[in-house]
Amino acid sequence: MIVSHQHRYIFVPMPKTGTHSVRQALREHLGPDDIEQVGLFVNKRFPFDDIARIKHGHLSVRQVRPYLGDEVADAYFKFTFVRNPFDRFVSYCSFMTRQTGAFDRDPKGTMRRILFEARPLDHVHFQPQYTLLVNDAGDVEMDYLGRVETMQASYDAICERVGIPSRALDRVNSSRRGHYREYYDADLVDGVAALYRRDLELFDYQF
């Protein structure tokens, strides 16, 4: 997460949506009082002990609101990036098995094991996207939802809104695979659709 007091925004980075590219670009315009929490490629922590102990930077506004205060949390421009859950799940499975190469050898089998057997629901990368984006009432509290599918255009719109110059986003932590549909069978489609049903509904995605 990045909280920019200089530009009055809160960036909620969603796992597996290419947000390290966005972070890298946003860092070029951070002021001396702006804060960031991140645990991959760069290691930074918020100046709040309870939050700093979390080992990653995928935080929700709901988590940091008590430390920022309602005035900041409500007034600042809040944005994130979302991704088609079917595509995101493929990316998750590839990322989590990159050390063993399990996904490369047997993508469908790996996806089945993770989805139906392991089901790591406590892992922030596996959790539905909406869980980072809703308030205590269950309503999405983002002012802008960028989309991975139109990432550069979304980033351009964000920069215009917060008043910083845009630039072409770099490719960071990305991998090259075929189209996500190639990795699915009917059972996997049904399983992912069930797990991420609210994401599909809220963000208007489908297989």
| 73, 64 Cβ separation under 8 angstroms | yes
| Separation between Cα atoms, residue 91 and residue 183, nearest integer Å | 11
Query: CA-to-CA distance for 91 and 105, rounded, in angstroms?
Result: 15
- Whether the CA torsion 46, 64, 27, 91 is positive or negative: it is positive
Residue 162 contacts residue 9 (beta carbons within 8 Å)? yes
The pLDDT, as a whole number, for residue 177 is 82
Q: What is the pLDDT of residue 174?
A: 62
CB 184, CB 115: distance < 8 Å = no
Q: What does the pLDDT profile of the chain (207 residues) look like in tens digits?
A: 999 999 999 999 999 999 899 999 999 999 999 999 998 888 999 999 999 999 999 999 999 999 999 999 999 999 999 999 999 999 999 999 999 999 999 999 999 999 999 999 999 999 999 999 999 999 999 999 999 999 999 999 999 999 999 999 998 756 678 899 999 999 999 999 999 999 999 999 999
Angle between helices 85-96 and 186-195 (to 10 degrees): 100
Which of 109, 122, 98, 61 shows the shortest CA–CA distance to 177? 98
Looking at the DSSP bridge assignments, the partners of residue 81 are 146
Instruction: Give the three-state DSSP class for 3.
Output: strand
Q: What is the pLDDT of residue 41?
A: 86
Q: Give phi and psi for 77, each to the nearest 5.
A: -70, 120
Query: For strand 77-82 and strand 144-147, is the pairing parallel, antiparallel, or unpaired?
Result: parallel
Q: Domain coordinates of the chain in residue numbers? A: 2-203
pLDDT in the model for residue 171:
83
Residue 28 tokens read as 């070029």
Q: What is the DSSP secondary structure assignment for residue 98, as one 8-state letter?
A: T
DSSP E strand boundaries for the chain: 2-4, 9-12, 35-36, 77-82, 144-147
Return d(Cα 184, Cα 83) in angstroms, integer.
Answer: 17
